[in-house]
A and B are shown apart, each in its own frame.
Chain A
Amino acid sequence: MCLAVPARVKTVEGKEAVVDFGGVQKRISLGILYGVKKGDHVLVHAGFAIGKVKKAEAEETLAALEELKNVTKDYKP
């Protein structure tokens, strides 16, 4: 239930924002997070942005995921 999904901020209007989850757009609240700007990546939980995702570290994880794909490609349980 503590699921939070990363999304990109498209527009900010006061305490609300429209975010994009890789194609699906949704209006969310910015009521519990300071300083969200257009273009930021945020984690969304229950209709609220709860934290920002740092771009450099996110890319690092994506690279690790790619690497994992290669490792598990030949894995036979």
Chain B
Amino acid sequence: MKKANIKLMEVCGTHTMAIAKAGIKKMLPGWIELVSGPGCPVCVTSQGDIDRAIEVARTKGVIMTTFGDMMRVPGTKASLEDTRRDGCDVRVVYSCRDALDIAGNNPGKKVVFMGVGFETTSPTVAATILEAKKKKISNFFVLSNFKLIFPALEAIARSKKLKIDGFICPGHVSVITGSIPYEKVAKRYRKPCVITGFEAADIFEGIGNLTKQVRMGTSKVEIAYRRAVRKDGNRLAKKIIGSVFKTSDCEWRGLGVIRKSGLKLKKEFREFDGEKEFDVKLPAIQKKKGCLCAEVLQGLKSPEDCKLFKKTCRPENPVGPCMVSSEGTCAAYYKYGDA
């Protein structure tokens, strides 16, 4: 097989899964290589942030809520699922609003939502916090581990270890942000960016457009997911994010601390800030021996390079977050092979 000479990164975990499921890698010519990026929010949540959620869940009188994918992610000593097994009240919710409803129905408890996600998810949580304020619900708290994708994209574009020729950009983040924030990545780092939808046909269109740009030597931002993404995005959602959250430096698993890449609650919403409400002691972090999730998240290694993959690390007993999340690269490789 001819060595790959065009390397594209699918940034979003939903793309990773869609690519694996449709077997797209096998249909591409050998000179196009796809690598997975840091866009699985469960996978990039730091071990310390998971430890904090676990310690808060162990606090007396707390009902911890989170998205289903977070339950099995191992912290330093346990996962949220283990914590539930120990008798703590930990519940899976579909929406942050479900957590607010639980708070309304349990006035004697403190209901905490452990929030992870990118720009797609953070406005839904910001809107829920505004609703809680309006309804004067005082037993609802958010542990905000929300992240911004653009600082991470820039960190990868700058990387000397990994030479990416172009980005398959996340469709649903872009529904909120629009295409304008990608202009900086395209211009400053000369990386073409194509905002892509999630059907196989969409993904082929994205790859096709990127390949054309790489061949022509251009680095433009294109919207291939035209049915859902507009240049200026969802203005109301962006306004709501800005009214509730402020940016802060944030640790990403695999990428380290990235400046101004996280979202924390503004002081006007301090009463809902789980980090301020619960002063918990965190265990000293021990890195999992042999786990390559950090390298996989940067596109530097494939799951098959990891000695634990399919051996001690399996979906029923995951060692690292990329195997836990249904959108993690390791989970995708386990289920569909290197498709």
The reply to whether the CB of A39 lies closer than 8 angstroms to some CB of chain B is: no
Give per-residue flags for B28-41: 1 if the beta carbon is below 8 A from chain A beta carbons, else 0. 00000000000111
A1 touches B236 (CB 8 A): no
A4 touches B127 (CB 8 A): no
Q: List 15 A-B contacts (CB under 8 A).
A: A1-B69, A2-B121, A2-B170, A31-B127, A31-B131, A31-B240, A32-B123, A32-B124, A34-B236, A45-B124, A50-B237, A51-B229, A53-B228, A61-B199, A68-B200
A54 and B225 CA atoms in complex are apart in Å by 11
- With A29-B97, A61-B201 known to touch, is A51 a contact of B175 (CB < 8 Å)? yes
B176 touches A51 (CB 8 A): yes
Which of A46, A50, A61 is within 8 Å of B227, CB to CB?
A61
CB distance from B229 to the nearest CB of A (A): 8
Within B153-179, the residues touching A (CB, 8 Å) are: 170-173, 175-176
The reply to whether the CB of B293 lies closer than 8 angstroms to some CB of chain A is: no
A43 touches B175 (CB 8 A): yes
A64 and B202 CA atoms in complex are apart in Å by 9
A61 and B175 CA atoms in complex are apart in Å by 17
The reply to whether the CB of B104 lies closer than 8 angstroms to some CB of chain A is: no
Which residues of B lie under 8 Å from residue A65 when comparing CB positions?
Answer: 199-201
The reply to whether the CB of B288 lies closer than 8 angstroms to some CB of chain A is: no
CB distance from B289 to the nearest CB of A (A): 27
Give per-residue flags for B89-130: 1 if the beta carbon is below 8 A from chain A beta carbons, else 0. 000001111100000000000000000111011011011001
- With A2-B173, A54-B226 known to touch, is A64 a contact of B39 (CB < 8 Å)? no
B201 touches A2 (CB 8 A): no
Give per-residue flags for A1-34: 1 if the beta carbon is below 8 A from chain B beta carbons, else 0. 1111000000000000000000000000101111
A41 and B173 CA atoms in complex are apart in Å by 18
Which residues of A lie under 8 Å from residue B117 when comparing CB positions?
Answer: 1-2, 46
- With A43-B172, A65-B199 known to touch, is A2 a contact of B123 (CB < 8 Å)? no
Given A2-B121, A48-B123, 18 more A-B residue pairs with CB atoms under 8 Å apart are: A1-B13, A1-B42, A1-B67, A1-B121, A2-B12, A2-B13, A2-B117, A31-B131, A32-B240, A43-B175, A43-B228, A45-B120, A45-B124, A47-B124, A52-B228, A53-B227, A54-B226, A68-B200
How many A-B residue pairs have C-beta atoms within 8 angstroms? Tell me.
122
Of the listed residues B69, B98, B200, B227, the one surrounded by the most CB atoms of chain A closer than 10 A to its CB is B227
Category for how many chain A residues contact B: 20 to 34
Top 9 A-B pairs, shortest CB-CB distance = A47-B95, A57-B227, A51-B175, A31-B127, A2-B120, A64-B201, A2-B172, A32-B237, A48-B124
Q: How many interface residues does B have (CB within 8 Å)?
A: 52
A3 and B98 CA atoms in complex are apart in Å by 18
Which residues of B lie under 8 Å from residue A64 when comparing CB positions?
Answer: 199, 201, 205
The reply to whether the CB of B325 lies closer than 8 angstroms to some CB of chain A is: yes
Give per-residue flags for B239-277: 1 if the beta carbon is below 8 A from chain A beta carbons, else 0. 010000000000000000000000000000000000000
Nearest A residue to B18, CB-CB: A3
CB distance from A27 to the nearest CB of B (A): 10
CB distance from B269 to the nearest CB of A (A): 16
Nearest B residue to A50, CB-CB: B175
CB distance from A22 to the nearest CB of B (A): 15
- With A1-B67, A54-B227, A65-B201 known to touch, is A75 a contact of B27 (CB < 8 Å)? yes
The reply to whether the CB of B197 lies closer than 8 angstroms to some CB of chain A is: yes
